[in-house]
Structure 1
Amino acid sequence: MSELTTAPELGSPEPPGASQASGASEKRILALWCPDWPATAAAIAADLPPHHPVAVLHANRVVACSAPARMAGVRRGMRKRQAQSACPEMTVMAGDDHRDGRVFEPVVAVVADLVPVVEVLRPGLLVVPAGRAARYFGDEHVLVEKLIDAVAAGGVEVQGGIADELFTAVLAARGGHHVPPGGDAAYLADRPVGDLAVEPSLSDPARVELVELLRRLGISTIGAFAMMSVRDVATRFAADAVVAHRLANAAPGRPPSGQVAPADLIIEHRCDPPIDRVDSAAFLGRRLADELAGRLAAASAACTRLTVEAVTERGQRHARTWRCAQPLTPEATADRIRWQLEGWLTGGRPGADDRPDSPVALLRLEPIEVVGAGTLQYSLSGNGLPEDPEIGERARRALVRVQGLLGGDAVQLPVTSGGRGPADQITLVALGEERLPSRDPAAPWPGGLPQPTPAVLMATPIQVLDMLGTPVEVTGRGGFSAEPTTIQMASDGRRRRSWELRWWAGPWPSGLDDDDPTGMTARAQVLLDDSRALLLRYRARSWVVEGVYE
């Protein structure tokens, strides 16, 4: 549980009711932030006590850890072995976005009981309009205390913050601060410029690059960045810098291109038969997400705020509004539908019966705010580092966009698989599906290709010849029928091209030929006189170039 305090640099708290005296208070925003939510969600899903240390890992590194784990010395970015040595009794769990979203739904339900209008920025962070709710409960401090107490009653640590603008309120929630009306710019002025990119749900993935550039230029605070003229920012930095500059000046965080969605973008689906299972809801959510993406694409629009509403056979309604910094892709939309419905259908809220009173009969998707479709055109440029997570995320979003336009199987990812040849050692899996290999890579593969593996795969027919021009084959003993000296390939219907061999290795038999049980399959590596290295494969008594080494 965390208490709401007035930011020290802004003076003493206002008396109750003072913040509601002006018309500007109607637009006040309250943010509730659950620290280290992936670790909290993992502990709740595993039914672990609050005092038990928990860490969530991705790519063998800690991405979130609970307060008891931090007290033992565990920090984000640590490797698994290092973290376990610091806290041996700690429970280590893999990251799971679906678990984070499903477990957060009961928290949202608690807040919605007190303030009906709730917007979820991401699992672990939500915002509500504070103006009218604060008047109803007495003042803003009472409102925050009631919400924090209600959430904390379920065993979830939470902090609250209030400000005029969404971005400021989210930062204030991280410190449990109350920013007086009109004080957003003063509150932001002394904060480090890195805070512009601290919340991923409110920033472009490229914001990290902007922050690093500003630091190199000697701009260390948000206030210093805000003092720059908007003309200089627009001409010297990328487009997202203009949005960040508006946030630094406590201007509304949404771009001015935001607009009300046309009515024909709303999707209503009557479930026949009604849905009462999580897997059925997830499958339907994926289909409706694709349908919504198609309508948005036809309207040259992209959704930045979406309301998902479910209605049961008996008329019970369940609605959530999801707000995102970046336009929702079909995959992101499907995830949010699944998180919301899974949390509702499973009724995970302690001490309350939140399950629907009957199966879901109607599912409705309503885009609340849309922007131009060009916002979905993500760049793949970056600093070129292969382990840069920001570049990988931007590339993934671009691929999701291509998948939404061309179909689910249009984008496929390679997964290391088992096999003897280079093509056999890769399984292509559609983006978004579980990345499981078709063959076990850990199984023994006698006759497998030795390292290194070729960079380019192909299947170009060639002839391997000896010094007399006679075709070279692989014998039943697994050797060459004669010493190879030349390979020959038909470049067109009339002329053949030939290359002399500088070096060769092999052949390595890889088993009997499926097409010719009496024959042998084998591979060999050769180096041509033009310095190219090739992988050759012998099958059905003929040779092909299977790969090129680079």
Structure 2
Amino acid sequence: MSPETPSGIPRALVVWFPDWPLVAAQLAGEVPERVPAALLEKGLVSVCSAEARAAGVVRGLRVREAQSRCPELVAVHADPARDGREFEPVVAALETSLPGVQILRPGLCAVRARGAARYYGSEESAGGAALEAASRLGLEARAGIADSVFAAEQAARRAAELSPLLVVAGGESAAFLAGLPVTALGEPKLASLLVRLGLQTLGSLAELPPSDVRSRFGAEGLTAHARARGRDPRAIVPRVPPVPLERAADFEPGLDRVDQIAFALRPTAEAFIEGLRVQGLACTELRVHITDDAGQRSERTWGHPHHFGAGDVVDRVRWQLQSAGSTASSRGRGNRPGSAAARSRTPWRTTGEALAAPVVQIRLSPDKVDLLGRRGQALFGGVDERLDHGLRRLQTMLGHGSVLHPVPGGGRLLAERSLLVPWGEDAPAGTAARAERPWPGAVPEPLPATVFAELLPVQLLDDDAAPLRVGPRGDLAAPPAWFYPGPGAGRRAVRSWAGPWLLRQRWWDADESRHAERFQILDSENEAWLLLGEGGRWWAEARYD
């Protein structure tokens, strides 16, 4: 055993968790275990489970092709925040056996092999201790030990399932790496260039003089050259274990009433807020994990306009428990005539204050924090904290969706251009960028003063008192002549009109496609309207007051 490499860099022990992004999704309860599953990134498969690979799914496939090979494939989108969040307890468990862990990325970490080998007696024993710590968590892991971080990572990736530890003897890392393809560098552009130049393996790259590599490939090529020679210049920098900020409340036996849970959670919420205060922090975004005795989990992130207090935390947990089914916001799509909003369901069904399944654990973790002294955000740009306190009291009494504030949205319909978000919550991700898009076909400014929350059924008739018909290309058999502004309203003459403006969107999606027309009319009562026609029926979208 050589405690240091010939270049003087301490040997590295790398622990690798295969398919970690998919494992993290399973740990988060988003993907069932032992099913064909794939992680999607930019519309392509980036990680797939062993069951999916057995069915012919490989990395780089498009979603439809992967589903054609494996119809039962469960797909989930990539989430770097989830990967890091679920990896944190894994690293904490490794640190109980091997202190001084550096996280290279979620699913991959490194330790200086020298200290661990001295403690456990050999490098093999140190690697075995790391694997045992992973197995206690029920996770599959591989470990590699070599003269550099890069070489140790490649050793871990090439460790066999029956022998999950691969130790490369001191001074042998260059020979171990020589036969590996240049794609192992993890630099696609550089690897593509090297292959075109005839350098297929790391050994052929390592044979080049460093001066030639620097002059041809620059600093990036010189770093790759050093790694190919087993002399990765990266040093292992152990992390400073973070102060635990999350808190968990365990109930044994489980509680099945919301009021009981809220009462029992209060000390944990106070401890959670106090722990943040001691660190000089304020929680502005809270993540709540709820687990029942059947193993079902509910997870949600809550925002706050200022920062959370203990009472605010308890309120959010209560609202999450009570939300047996909430209407999913159709942000960016508007109110479609005759369509029903989808509903998102949680595992708990409430009857009054009773839950169908007893809750056994509630875990509170801060998603976003800020310095305590800097939290002074005020309502409407500047203001009275009493007003904010009153709004939060209304939320506490009436529910999370009782106090809403508007944020700019994006879309062609007026109802899509303004979203109502619960007070304290941020606008959905991407809303600001969506609002800035050009949206051809949208009504130009000035916009109507009155926009109906729900489309108002009206009638628009021609001279023969027949419903107005618009051809596929916007042609009219007869102009609009009569208008009924609502059920039971009298008939009004159409004095002037403009249109039709055709609304054709998402024709490739059978569920979301739209084929409609819009008119602006002025009736005999001198009221101006914006009308929407679809499927032979007409609705009033807004009125110009």
TM range (shorter): 0.3 to 0.5
TM score, norm. by length of structure 1: 0.46
Question: Which one has more relative contact order, counting CA pairs under 8 Å at least 6 apart?
Answer: 1
